């Protein structure tokens, strides 16, 4: 059903004679929304993201360009010209777009108004090769008015923005493809290096190093509760808390006065230990206290600026518990649905239309006193803020309240929309006002010790914007802006009675680990990367196993220490914070037309003015890198930690012990390492096999407990082994149990010349004949199954999951906010995962299944959906290809033999 605005838009934007206008956007959701506004004269299609990119393997290279795979599909000798190929999963969509274009009168490219969107538009032109007029249609919100404006004022593709995006893509390709093989050779296979990813990992590793080097300091202070002797009304408190701040005129040391090794930064401060604090508290309890000073000041707090990309990610993390990827995916859906403006922006400016809408809504909801006389304008402090978008705000010329859109949005979307709405409206509201007061009070002990206490209070007399929005802090101990602390009315000289004088002990804390919110903030402050890439960067370092989560904290794995250590020692400039930030400046210069792509890439890759480039640095340093040194870290007491191919382990002399992968590096103390080394190996001798004379032992292996025979040294045969049943344990296993297990696999019988065998596999018991296998109901059947029973099991139709019924879920989590489907937590072949019946998403390494919340499950599923379906492996085609190669090879050999000269 169209609205009057929609009808007007349809009439005003009618297509010229000769065919409909073809509009191409990135996503089906965006296409659907825009199509609803444009009507019959327009065909709106989606490219479904990028349609082409650099090839992922040599097999994807065009035959005539095969030789360029040695430089990763970049012609480094010809102005760094890239080789682009249409993605396999987009070929069908490209065909569809070409067909739509064949009958179109004009092509309008309506991809996002940023560098990546500009590049997608350019790639579309390069692939589709349109023979009709082409225009770029740009807008920062999807509303009828914005679409009308975009159609009436199209522009050409901005080649400078395309060059900047291409430069970034080529730069990241060269960086990753040159440095990643170094990690494969010197640390572990299948690792990756990334221009910003590696720097982000370094930040997290450096914070962990600070935590490892940290030494706690203990200090004590005193908290007193004091009662005024003045008469107060029922609304006024009679007592308040105050903390000891000076002793005999010397300021008392607090946590911020100690350095990272537990020493006072300023030696002349007063420091109390437990005995001194308890003694002083006792001596003060019976003394008369008096108010020494009262300092009252007006309190005023202005509202926060509207959201940009990074502040939205930070607040969504603090207030909603959303990771950066989840925030950006949800914001993308809101943008494509026409609810908010474009969500990848450095800007905190609002259009005049948006300012008017925010002021009008604040006035309607809270009254004229809550709206200042003049509109508020905000100026970005972000260096080189780009893309000239507005701040993130509700779309349209008037804002819809969260209540008005509640029936249209899923839970995640509604919560994020409410956050954007609150922040936008609050940004145009009046200041919060009130009074802040600071009180100093003190007393003198019988020993003539002078102790002074301090208390602060705040009373908000007019909440202003705080009625709508209060920003959260990264430190949960920090007070919120809207929190009042009332003190009784006191004046200088007033007597106060102590009702409690309590000594309190404290210990300094190591620097906190980064969370997603604080890492985003740190990257932005250091001007590393672009805000629109932070979500994918954090997702990458989590997926690669460099970092895992403990609660909301980002903890580096020991693997990250090895990778960062290698890069710091041998390629320091590539993980240097300033160097990485300067690269962003250079990309901005290319986008602005003040620098050229090819010369810049040439300097980076080949070097200039005597400085080495990426290519020579990698080739010159590879042989210098000592892999053992890079992967070794001293722990103490002659113990070292090594990062091995199968995980971290500690070593002292000949002794080794695996280190749990989820152990945070700052918790690997000498004591913990000793504990791991002293733990029993897990081998439990069970006795001697009376038939073979070999010793039988029970062991804990990588894939679970098993039994094995111990063969004499020098023997060439492999020992018999067998996994324990689920009902068994290494601690209680008997020799008879082990000998029985070692009879497996058991040949049940032979039919048509083929053995039918009962086996205990990694995923449970099953029976097999040739290539056919079926699961058994219990492990005990492995010993009792008769031939006719085995044939009956094999005759059953094959079902998914090796024929087993699905195991009961570990936990039911509730409906997915995005789809409404029930989510459950299950144990799978490769570990725990969440599913809604259609999409499965594995838990990340180190995540505790018991701690998975509804929100986290929904986030994992949304991330998996965003990646699209897993590519299917063409096994049969591969097999045929291999067979064809063999046949061809045989023919060639035969041909050579037949034509060989006789001797």
Residues serving a catalytic function are 342
Distances (CA, A) of 345 to 47, 113, 341, 356: 22, 10, 10, 21
> In this structure, what token pair is assigned to residue 661?
């992968």
Type and span of the H or E element at 314: helix 309-315
User: Tokens 């009252």 appear where?
Assistant: 296
* CB-neighbour burial class of residue 309 (10 A; exposed 0-12, middle 13-18, buried 19+): buried
Give the residue from 494, 845, 514 showing the smallest Cα distance to 663: 845
CA 156 to the chain's CA centroid: 36
Provide the 8-state DSSP code for 429: S
Residue 227 has a CB neighbour count (10 Å cut-off) of: 17
If you compute the radius of gyration of the chain from its CA atoms, what whole number of angstroms results? 34
- Residue 866, classed as helix, strand or coil, is helix
Give CA separation, 121 vs 26, 169, 287, 344, in Å. 9, 15, 78, 17
Per DSSP, helices labelled H in 259-323 are 274-285, 309-315
Helices 534-543 + 197-213 axis angle, to 10: 60
Taking Cα atoms as reference points, which of 308, 311, 371 lies closest to residue 345? 308
- How would DSSP label each residue in 670-687? HHHHHHHHHS--S-EEEE
Is the link from the previous residue into 745 a cis peptide, with omega within 30 of 0? yes
CA 456/CA 437 separation, integer angstroms: 6
Element (H, E) at 773: strand 772-775
User: What values do phi and psi take at 122, rounded to 5?
Assistant: -65, -45
Give the Cα separation of 169 and 123 in Å (integer). Answer: 13
Rounded to whole angstroms, how far apart are CA atoms 375 and 355? 7
- Cβ neighbors of 555 (< 8 A, separation 6 or more) are 204, 208, 513, 547, 548, 549, 664, 665, 846
Contact between residue 40 and residue 52 where contact means Cβ atoms under 8 Å apart: no
User: CB-based burial of residue 642 (10 Å sphere; 0-12 exposed, 13-18 middle, 19+ buried)?
Assistant: middle
| Residue pointed to by tokens 């046949």 | 887
Q: Which residues of 315-343 are buried (b: 16+ CB within 10 A; e: fewer)?
A: bbbbbbebbbbbbbbbbbbbbbbbbbbbb
State how far the Cα of 254 lies from the Cα of 802, in Å rounded to an integer: 63
Distance from C-alpha of 752 to C-alpha of 853, rounded to nearest angstrom:
54
CB 214 within 8 A of CB 507: no
Strand 106-109 versus strand 134-136 pairing type: parallel
DSSP 331-387: HHHHHHTTSB--S--------HHHHHHHHHHHHHHH-GGGS-SS-------STT--T
- Chain-centre distance for alpha carbon 490: 51
The answer to whether residues 437 and 295 touch, using CB atoms and an 8 Å cutoff, is yes
- Specify the 3-state DSSP secondary structure of 850: helix
Distances (CA, A) of 584 to 312, 386, 588, 784: 22, 11, 6, 69
| Helix (H) or strand (E) run with residue 539 in it | helix 534-543
Strand partners, 502: 223
């Amino acid at each position: 059903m169209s609205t009057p605005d929609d009808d007007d838009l349809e009439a005003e934007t009618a297509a010229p004679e000769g065919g409909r206008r073809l509009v191409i956007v990135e996503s089906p959701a965006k296409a659907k929304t825009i199509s609803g506004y444009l009507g019959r004269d327009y065909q709106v299609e989606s490219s479904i993201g990028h349609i082409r990119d650099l090839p992922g393997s040599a097999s994807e290279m065009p035959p005539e360009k095969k030789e360029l795979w040695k430089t990763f599909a970049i012609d480094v000798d010809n102005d760094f010209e890239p080789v682009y190929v249409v993605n396999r999963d987009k070929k069908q969509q490209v065909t569809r777009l070409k067909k739509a274009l064949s009958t179109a009168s004009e092509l309008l490219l309506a991809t996002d108004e940023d560098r990546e969107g500009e590049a997608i538009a350019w790639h579309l032109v390069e692939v589709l090769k349109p023979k009709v007029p082409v225009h770029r249609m740009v807008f920062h919100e999807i509303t009828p008015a914005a679409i009308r404006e975009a159609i009436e004022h199209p522009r050409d593709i901005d080649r400078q923005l395309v060059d900047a995006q291409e430069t970034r893509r080529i730069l990241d390709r060269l960086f990753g493809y040159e440095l990643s093989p170094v990690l494969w050779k010197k640390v572990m296979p299948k690792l990756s290096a990334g221009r910003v990813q590696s720097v982000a990992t370094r930040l997290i590793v450096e914070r962990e190093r600070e935590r490892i080097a940290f030494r706690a300091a203990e200090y004590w202070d005193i908290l007193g509760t004091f009662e005024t002797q003045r008469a107060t009304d029922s609304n006024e408190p009679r007592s308040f808390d105050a903390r000891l701040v000076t002793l005999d005129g010397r300021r008392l040391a607090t946590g911020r006065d100690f350095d990272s090794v537990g020493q006072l930064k300023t030696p002349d401060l007063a420091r109390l230990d437990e005995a001194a604090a308890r003694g002083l508290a006792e001596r003060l309890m019976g003394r008369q206290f008096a108010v020494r000073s009262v300092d009252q000041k007006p309190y005023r707090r202005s509202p926060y600026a509207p959201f940009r990309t990074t502040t939205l990610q930070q607040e969504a993390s603090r207030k909603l518990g959303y990771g950066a990827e989840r925030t950006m995916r949800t914001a993308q859906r809101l943008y494509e649905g026409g609810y908010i403006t474009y969500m990848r922006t450095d800007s905190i400016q609002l259009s005049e239309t948006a300012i008017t809408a925010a002021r009008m809504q604040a006035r309607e909801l809270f009254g004229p006193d809550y709206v200042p006389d003049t509109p508020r304008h905000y100026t970005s402090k972000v260096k080189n803020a780009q893309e000239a978008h507005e701040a993130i705000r509700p779309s349209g010329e008037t804002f819809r309240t969260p209540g008005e859109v509640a029936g249209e949005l899923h839970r995640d979307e509604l919560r994020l929309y409410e956050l954007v709405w609150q922040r936008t409206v609050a940004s145009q509201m009046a200041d919060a006002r009130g009074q802040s007061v600071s009180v100093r009070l003190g007393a003198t002990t019988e020993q003539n010790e002078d102790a002074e206490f301090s208390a602060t209070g705040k009373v908000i007399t007019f909440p202003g914007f705080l009625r709508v929005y209060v920003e959260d802090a990264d430190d949960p101990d920090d007070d919120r802006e809207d929190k009042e602390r009332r003190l009784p009315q006191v004046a200088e000289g007033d007597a106060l009675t102590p009702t409690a004088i309590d000594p309190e002990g404290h210990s300094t804390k190591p620097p906190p680990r980064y969370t997603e919110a604080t890492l985003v903030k740190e990257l932005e402050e250091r001007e590393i990367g672009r805000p629109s890439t932070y979500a994918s960067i954090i997702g990458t370092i989590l997926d690669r196993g460099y970092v895992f989560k403990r609660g909301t904290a980002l903890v580096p794995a020991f693997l990250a220490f090895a990778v960062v250590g290698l890069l710091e020692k041998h390629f320091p400039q590539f993980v240097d914070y300033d160097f990485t930030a300067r690269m962003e400046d250079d990309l901005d210069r290319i986008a602005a037309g003040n620098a050229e792509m090819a010369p810049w890439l040439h300097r980076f890759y080949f070097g200039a003015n005597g400085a080495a480039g990426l290519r020579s640095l990698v080739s010159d340093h590879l042989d210098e890198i000592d892999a053992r040194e890079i992967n070794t870290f001293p722990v103490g007491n002659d113990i070292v930690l090594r990062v091995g191919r199968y995980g971290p382990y500690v070593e002292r002399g000949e002794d080794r012990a695996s280190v749990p992968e989820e152990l945070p590096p700052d918790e690997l103390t000498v004591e913990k390492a000793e504990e791991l080394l002293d733990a029993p190996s897990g081998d439990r001798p069970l006795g001697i096999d009376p038939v073979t004379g070999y010793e039988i032992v029970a062991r804990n292996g990588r894939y679970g407990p098993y039994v094995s025979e111990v063969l004499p040294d020098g023997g060439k045969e492999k020992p018999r082994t067998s996994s324990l049943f689920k009902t068994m344990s290494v601690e209680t296993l008997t020799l008879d149990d082990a000998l029985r297990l070692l009879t497996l696999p058991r040949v049940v019988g032979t039919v048509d010349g083929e053995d039918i065998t009962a086996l205990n596999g990694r995923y449970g018991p099953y029976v097999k004949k040739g290539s056919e296998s079926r699961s058994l109901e219990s492990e005990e059947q492995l010993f009792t199954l008769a031939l006719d029973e085995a044939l009956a099991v094999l005759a059953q139709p094959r079902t998914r999951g090796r024929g087993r019924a699905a195991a009961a879920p570990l936990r039911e989590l509730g409906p997915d906010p995005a789809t409404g489907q029930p989510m459950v937590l299950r144990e799978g072949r490769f570990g725990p995962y969440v599913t809604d019946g259609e999409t499965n998403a594995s838990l990340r390494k180190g995540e505790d299944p018991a701690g998975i919340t509804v929100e986290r499950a929904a986030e994992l599923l949304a991330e998996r959906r965003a990646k699209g379906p897993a590519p299917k492996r063409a096994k049969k085609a591969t097999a045929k290809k291999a067979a064809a190669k063999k046949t061809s090879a045989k023919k060639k050999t035969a041909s050579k033999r037949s034509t060989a000269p006789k001797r």
